[in-house]
Amino acid sequence: MTRRLLAGLLALAAALVLTGCSPTLSVQPAPQATSVGCAALIVRLPPTLGTVSKRQTDSQGTAAWGDPEAVQLRCGVTPPGPTTDFCETYGGVDWIRVDTGSGAATREQFTTFGRIPATQVILDPRHTTESDALPPISDAVSAAMPHATRHCTAPAAPSPGPSS
């Protein structure tokens, strides 16, 4: 009986040590994170984006890559309406781009345009690039939500990396 207890405690300790190596990231889920489209997207996301690997998140409809966090994805955000913000296209998926913050807090925020549910991707340009992250994520968006309801009418100038 003592051996079983000791073996159980050792197994529990080993499990705690192994899970401590890559902490789960807390990501605020979007309002429509539980939609069928988000579930279809999340299972299609790639394990790596450029040189950053996917990490575990604690919310449905979310994903993250990198340690420190380089890319955060939230599916089910409110779809953007008409805007004059830059629009870029990767793999047939239109993305509205808004840059936020400054200095070390600078982030590039992209939200799908014309796809329901909408998906938001936030990049930390210190740890990854738009051209590493958006093409593979766009492939997953396109497969999960193949029909766009609207398209950008005045896309931005071509960005570095593959565009459609």
Average pLDDT over residues 103-112: 95
17 lies in some domain: no
What's residue 112's pLDDT?
97
pLDDT in tens, 20-36: 456 899 999 999 999 99
Average pLDDT over residues 71-98: 95
3-class DSSP assignment, residue 72? strand
The pLDDT of residue 161 is above 50: no
How many domains does the structure of the chain reveal? 1
91 lies in some domain: yes
pLDDT over 90 for what percent of the chain? 71
Domain that holds residue 115: 25-144
d(CA 29, CA 49) in angstroms, rounded, equals: 21
What's residue 68's pLDDT?
92
Beta bridge partners of 9: none
11 lies in some domain: no
The pLDDT of residue 94 is above 80: yes
10 lies in some domain: no
Average pLDDT over residues 5-21: 42
The pLDDT of residue 38 is above 90: yes
2 lies in some domain: no
The pLDDT of residue 117 is above 70: yes
- Lowest mean pLDDT: which of 37-51, 102-116, 142-156? 142-156
Query: Would you give the DSSP letter of residue 104?
Result: G
What's residue 153's pLDDT?
84
The H-assigned helical ranges of the chain are 2-19, 36-42, 130-144
- Global pTM? 0.80
The pLDDT of residue 45 is above 90: yes
d(CA 164, CA 146) in angstroms, rounded, equals: 15
Higher pLDDT, 9 or 53: 53
134 lies in some domain: yes
155 lies in some domain: no
Average pLDDT over residues 14-20: 39
Q: pLDDT band at residue 147, thresholds of 50, 70 and 90?
A: confident
- Tell me which residue of 117, 110, 113, 118 sits closest to 49, measured CA to CA: 110
126 lies in some domain: yes
Over the chain, what is the mean pLDDT? 85
